[in-house]
Chain A
Amino acid sequence: AQSVTQLGSHVSVSEGALVLLRCNYSSSVPPYLFWYVQYPNQGLQLLLKYTSAATLVKGINGFEAEFKKSETSFHLTKPSAHMSDAAEYFCAVTPHPGGYNKLIFGAGTRLAVHP
């Protein structure tokens, strides 16, 4: 069975500071991993995905994530936070890369950015 754990339900950073959102996964098969962002009263928007190619994945809005098999981690980072980054972030896993299989989500991390 697959599962995702996001450490820290709330993260607060200053504008311009490094953003680090943590995600650890459990999977009995090679996983495919995703980060989604959710702004208030909206659905989920894909930030980036890992599908067994490069372990360092670059996404939209300056975010990137590194797949570390030895640590079963897929942490999300951004060098410099912007006020517009304030949102809820979800890490998700699936055994297949495409749309065939269900996504299993973590509980989410709410990112606050203060001036």
Chain B
Amino acid sequence: GAVVSQHPSRVICKSGTSVKIECRSLDFQATTMFWYRQFPKQSLMLMATSNEGSKATYEQGVEKDKFLINHASLTLSTLTVTSAHPEDSSFYICSTTGWASGSHEQYFGPGTRLTVT
């Protein structure tokens, strides 16, 4: 399956600052990537769908001006949490889909743990 990396693996930032999380598809051209977040003891929740070269599609309740997504190449999507607050502290996970090549499964990155102090 596809190999997906994320950077950084964990980050601590102060309230009011912005944090950028990178998601890379290392061996697969990812026209579509997804961003999820997971609060402690809860399931993953889909935040947005990121399509290469176009605007991301956000799920209901996710502020697009707060969570900026850029998917400028087939191997890289970035999520920027702007003006982060303690309630944004969460585990952020990206995934790619093999749908375009006829495969159905999604491949997930290892996740980025964000702590906002």
Same complex = no
Q: Which residues of B contact A (CB under 8 A)?
A: none
Q: Which residues of A contact B (CB under 8 A)?
A: none
